[in-house]
Amino acid sequence: MIPPVFDYHAPKTVGEAITLLGTLGQDAKLLAGGHSLLPMMKLRFAQPAHLIDLNRIPELRGICEDGADVVIGAMTVENALITSPVLQAKVPLLSEAAKLIADPQVRNRGTIGGDIAHGDPANDHPALALACDASFVLEGPNGRRTVKADAFFHGTYVTELADDEILVSIRVPAFAPGTGWAYEKLKRKTGDWATAGAAVVLRLSGGSVSHARIALTNVGATALRAADAETALIGQPLSEATIAAAAAAAMAITDPAADLRGDVEYKTAMAGEMLKRAIRAAAARAK
């Protein structure tokens, strides 16, 4: 399939890209790895007259530490997340979970910024960002603003990004010593999106859960922060009963769409099951 005709622009700086966005207006789309945008163009779900390619802007790539945060450039590809020593040491959940995204070809081009900005509830990074308490740095004609992941995802393909803004970087607090983490993703085959997924970050203190952040993939219009599931865990000793209570609280907030991956009941049950597995795996890593 061939996408519709478009004009191609290749800015060298974020400033140039923002100027192009302002000039070309709603006829323009930003191009990152192209692994979500180009399929949509080929299917005529998107028909931008202009593509603004972010691939020639070096400042948008890379992973570094900034104080207590790890900062990931929006154009950093999945494969770089997997191999980053900084991420492996400071936020290993993102390195490990990136291995579950798509396949090696997609991971060599697809970017963390594109995965988040696309606003697809089936993508894995939105729930991972929620569980990690990440923030997103957005830049537009009036400068930069930082938005918490909790406030970014408004609906399917709808985010806090304005038409003239670029997602520049993702800031993730480094895990405190002793943090346990896990991402459990049920998929039909290698390379598939999640039927349901659960991301968990937790800490234990004196045998009880002292910190928990939980988020779910592909069981609602956006990735879902499961706050009631967190409440069910915090202050409690980890037992099968508390894990079951957290899973029940998480299943109560799901609203999945039936499709070829399963009906509503199956996806809801799988969200609960993925969360149970993720809590157990995170607890096994917590020290």
Minimum separation from the CB atom of position 263 to ligand FAD (A): 21
Q: How far apart are CA 169 and CA 112, in angstroms?
A: 9
Helix (H, G, I), strand (E, B) or coil at 276: helix
Minimum separation from the CB atom of position 135 to ligand FAD (A): 15
Closest CB to ligand FAD among residues 74, 130: 74
Contact 161, 147 (CB under 8 A): no
Minimum separation from the CB atom of position 48 to ligand FAD (A): 8
Closest CB to ligand FAD among residues 86, 106: 106
Q: Which residues, other chains included, contact 115 with Cβ-Cβ below 8 Å and sequence gap of 6+?
A: 36, 78, 101, 123, 124, 125, 126
Contact 198, 249 (CB under 8 A): no
Among 33, 220, 256, 272, binds ligand FAD (CB under 6 A): 33
The angle at the Cα of 278, spanning 68 to 77, to the nearest 5 degrees, equals: 55
Question: What's the distance, Cα to Cα, between the start and end of the chain in Å?
Answer: 51
Closest CB to ligand FAD among residues 134, 167: 167
Nearest-CB residue for ligand FAD: 114
- Per-residue binding string, ligand FAD, 51-90, x by CB under 6 A, is ---x-------------------x----------------
Q: Judged by CB under 6 A, does residue 215 bind ligand FAD?
A: no
Q: Judged by CB under 6 A, does residue 170 bind ligand FAD?
A: no
Residues 121-150 that bind ligand FAD (CB under 6 A): 123-125
Sequence letter at residue 198: A
Q: Judged by CB under 6 A, does residue 184 bind ligand FAD?
A: no
The residue among 102, 123, 276, 125 whose CA lies nearest residue 200 is: 276
8-state DSSP, 59: G
Q: What are the residues binding ligand FAD (CB under 6 A)?
A: 29-37, 54, 74, 101-102, 106, 110-111, 113-115, 117-118, 123-125, 161, 166-167, 191, 193
